[in-house]
Amino acid sequence: MQVVTVNKIRKEDRPGITMKTIFDESIIEGGRTMMGTVSIPAGARIPIEGFGAHEQDEYGLVLKGSILTMSGGKEYRVSSGQATFIPRGEEHWAYNDGQEDCEIVWILVNR
């Protein structure tokens, strides 16, 4: 087992958001999974323009706040206590149109 303190993980330099990778694929030989957190402040959007897509399936769990998101051509409201799944290659974005930061745990899984 490995235990990490998330508050001690270095923040990644991303415009307008706070991103941390807790575990990356190097955690085990042949690893295929990454896990991290993202904090999206009120008024912030990721990506800043257009859409993003990953080569991996993406799972998310909203811990605090809510976001407006578009994925696969559909718009969704995702709030604290809800989880998401975005298939690899599906274009998506997220916008925090609320008054508080939105805190999300994400997991990327290679197939």
Tens-digit pLDDT profile for residues 84-100? 999 999 999 999 999 99
pLDDT recorded at residue 29: 86
Q: What is the mean pLDDT of residues 28-51?
A: 94
Looking at the chain, the whole-number percentage of residues with pLDDT higher than 70 is 100
pLDDT tens-digit map of 19-37: 999 999 888 888 899 999 9
pLDDT tens-digit map of 51-79: 999 999 999 999 999 999 999 999 999 99
Nearest to 107 by CA among 60, 71, 62, 63: 60
CA distances from 83 to 31, 48, 64, 80, 103 (A): 23, 22, 12, 9, 12
Confirm whether 11 is domain-assigned: no
Confirm whether 84 is domain-assigned: yes
CATH number of the domain within which 59 lies = 2.60.120.10
Residues with Cβ < 8 Å from 85, sequence gap 6 or more? 57, 58, 59, 60
Could you give the number of structural domains in the chain? 1
What is the end-to-end Cα distance of the chain in Å, rounded? 23
Confirm whether 62 is domain-assigned: yes
- Return d(Cα 4, Cα 72) in angstroms, integer: 34
The parent domain of residue 54 ranges over 17-109
